Amino acid sequence: MFNKNLNFTNISSTGNKNMVDHLGIEFLEIGEDFVTARMPVDHRTHQPFGILHGGASVVLAESLGSVASFLTLTDPTTQRAVGLEINANHIRGVSSGWVYAKATPLHLGRTTHVWDIKITSEEGKLVCVVRFTVAIIAVK
């Protein structure tokens, strides 16, 4: 499923000083049919009441889903994976530590991908459920 010529190093080489770096998101594993990442729950990702900001969860999910789609591209010099739609249900609050995200494909078409992304706490409790749709576009 994933392009064997692509890995997290390919993605990291696109530069830093972006949202992923700012929030401390780390890509962890590429499996047979999944990709994982983690994000710290700290001052960068808290909302004013000291718990994980829902928007930070969405950034984690969209970043992971976009990377997962990128890793499936047959020719990343002519194609790009860009977010098209995202839906998140926030289940549980987290105030510290790390949250972990796992993206698995629901659909990998020629022009769209749909990912199921589950975000969990360090204890394995469900924090957020996300469905993310990615458009596969041509590089101009």
Tell me if 1 is assigned to some domain.
no
pTM for the full model? 0.93
- Counting the structural domains of the chain, the total is 1
Domain hosting 22: range is 8-138
Tell me if 69 is assigned to some domain.
yes
Confidence at residue 1, expressed as pLDDT on a 0 to 100 scale? 85
Query: At CA 29, angle to CA 120 and CA 63, rounded to 5?
Result: 65
Confidence at residue 16, expressed as pLDDT on a 0 to 100 scale? 67
Which residues are the active-site residues? Answer: 62
Tell me if 84 is assigned to some domain.
yes
Tell me if 126 is assigned to some domain.
yes
Tell me if 107 is assigned to some domain.
yes
Tell me if 63 is assigned to some domain.
yes
Tell me if 128 is assigned to some domain.
yes
| CATH number (domain holding residue 82) | 3.10.129.10
Q: How far is CA 35 from CA 44, 65, 68, 78, 87, in A?
A: 23, 8, 6, 23, 19
Tell me if 3 is assigned to some domain.
no
| Per-residue pLDDT tens digits of the chain, which is 140 residues long | 888 787 777 665 555 678 999 999 999 999 999 999 999 999 999 999 999 999 999 999 999 999 999 999 989 899 999 999 999 999 999 999 999 999 999 999 999 999 999 999 999 999 999 999 999 999 98
